[in-house]
């Protein structure tokens, strides 16, 4: 038995790109999809009907929201959006993988921008989420989404970044800070892609990405079942569907 979990930022609600987004998800065959930048239920209804998945949309502080698609039964679904410190919202779903076996999915989309002030806000968000899920530490748990952050030790390519972003990084002494991802790693979560891959794994912007902002993290209970993790670069629709490449983690069970 296997389980595929995808995280996908669909860019500004996916308007006029619905078919491309559907094609990407259909080709990847995920069991669970955590979506970022969802505006309304309209797209979710279209994807849900086409994919045979149930959908759940969070409520939040901003127009861009985190949502969920799932083939497996969702036992509980909650959306959390305390204005301080959660910039948008994060979702929490208890999913029945098989009878009497559940996993907990946390979907996130912290504040954007690589400036240090924004990274401090992301650290605040990360600490809040880590504290929230501490009570579930003995359950299999996944945290996935567009984290808008760079992990410690990761590369970024500034050559094709916007001028305003280059200037921010330059004013920081050509440094990018890693507080928020480090907080997750320090809490015992594993970066699925980096555990299994040595390449950059850049996810933004397509088709010439320069940074890895999209991650799937797991706790020790879930790490034991991790089999593969990769960036979705096919079919060609992936370059038309969004400015992000999706990430998938696959888990195997005896």
Going by pLDDT thresholds of 50, 70 and 90, the confidence category of residue 148 is very high
Please report the pLDDT score of residue 198 as a whole number: 97
User: How much is the average pLDDT of 140-150?
Assistant: 98
Strands 54-57 and 141-146: unpaired
User: How much is the average pLDDT of 135-147?
Assistant: 96
Listed in sequence order, the DSSP H helices in 134-178 are 163-171
CB distance 169 to 158 below 8 Å: yes
Please report the pLDDT score of residue 100 as a whole number: 86
22, pLDDT greater than 90: yes
Please report the pLDDT score of residue 99 as a whole number: 86
Name the token pair of 236: 């060609």
Q: Could you tell me which residues come within 8 angstroms of residue 135 by beta carbon, excluding any fewer than 6 positions away?
A: none
Tens digits of residue pLDDT in 196-205:
999 999 999 9
How far apart CA 120 and CA 253 sit, in angstroms, is 38
Q: Could you tell me which residues come within 8 angstroms of residue 101 by beta carbon, excluding any fewer than 6 positions away?
A: none
CB distance 31 to 72 below 8 Å: yes
Tens digits of residue pLDDT in 70-108:
999 999 999 999 989 999 999 999 999 888 899 999 999
How far apart CA 11 and CA 38 sit, in angstroms, is 8
Share of the chain above pLDDT 90, in %: 95
Please report the pLDDT score of residue 160 as a whole number: 87
Please report the pLDDT score of residue 178 as a whole number: 97
Please, what's the b/e burial string for 142-152 (b: 16 or more CB within 10 A of its CB; e: otherwise)? bbbbbbbbbbe
Please report the pLDDT score of residue 138 as a whole number: 93
CB distance 219 to 140 below 8 Å: yes
C-alpha torsion 180→183→188→191, nearest 10: 20
Tens digits of residue pLDDT in 152-179:
999 899 988 999 999 999 999 999 999 9
Average pLDDT of the chain is 97
254, pLDDT greater than 80: no
pTM score, whole prediction: 0.97
Burial class (CB in 10 A: 0-12, 13-18, 19+), 162: exposed
Which CATH number does 2-252 carry? 3.60.10.10
Helical pair 41-51 and 18-28, crossing angle rounded to 10 deg? 40
SS3 category, 88: coil
Sequence ranges of the domains in the chain: 2-252
CB distance 37 to 13 below 8 Å: yes
Name the token pair of 3: 């389980």
63, pLDDT greater than 80: yes
67, pLDDT greater than 80: yes
CB distance 147 to 34 below 8 Å: no
Name the token pair of 109: 């989309």
- Which residue, chain included where needed, has tokens 């001028």? 163
Going by pLDDT thresholds of 50, 70 and 90, the confidence category of residue 228 is very high
Cα–Cα distances in Å, from 143 out to 52, 108, 184, 236? 23, 7, 9, 27
Strands 65-70 and 74-80: unpaired
Please report the pLDDT score of residue 142 as a whole number: 98
């Amino acid at each position: 038995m296997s389980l595929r979990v995808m995280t996908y930022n669909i860019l500004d609600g996916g308007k006029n790109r619905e078919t491309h987004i559907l094609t990407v998800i259909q080709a990847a065959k995920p069991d669970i999809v955590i979506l970022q930048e969802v505006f309304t239920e309209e797209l979710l209804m279209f994807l849900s009907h086409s994919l045979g998945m149930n959908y759940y949309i969070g409520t939040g502080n901003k127009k861009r929201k985190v949502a969920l698609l799932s083939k497996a039964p969702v036992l509980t679904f909650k959306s959390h959006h305390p204005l301080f410190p959660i910039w948008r919202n994060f979702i929490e779903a208890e999913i029945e993988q098989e009878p009497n076996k559940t996993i907990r999915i946390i979907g996130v989309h912290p504040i954007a921008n690589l400036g240090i002030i924004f990274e401090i806000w992301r650290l605040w968000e990360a600490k809040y989420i880590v504290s929230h899920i501490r009570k579930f530490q003995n359950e299999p748990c996944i945290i996935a989404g567009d984290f808008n952050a760079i992990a410690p030790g990761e590369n970024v390519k500034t050559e094709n970044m916007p001028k305003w972003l280059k200037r921010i990084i330059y004013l920081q002494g050509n440094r990018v800070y890693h507080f928020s991802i480090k907080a997750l790693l320090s809490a015992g979560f594993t970066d699925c892609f980096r555990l299994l891959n040595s390449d950059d794994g850049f996810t933004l912007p397509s088709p010439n990405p320069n940074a890895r902002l999209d991650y799937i993290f797991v706790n020790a209970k879930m790490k034991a079942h991790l089999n593969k993790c990769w960036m979705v670069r096919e079919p060609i629709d992936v370059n038309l569907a969004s400015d992000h490449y999706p990430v998938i983690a696959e888990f195997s069970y005896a």
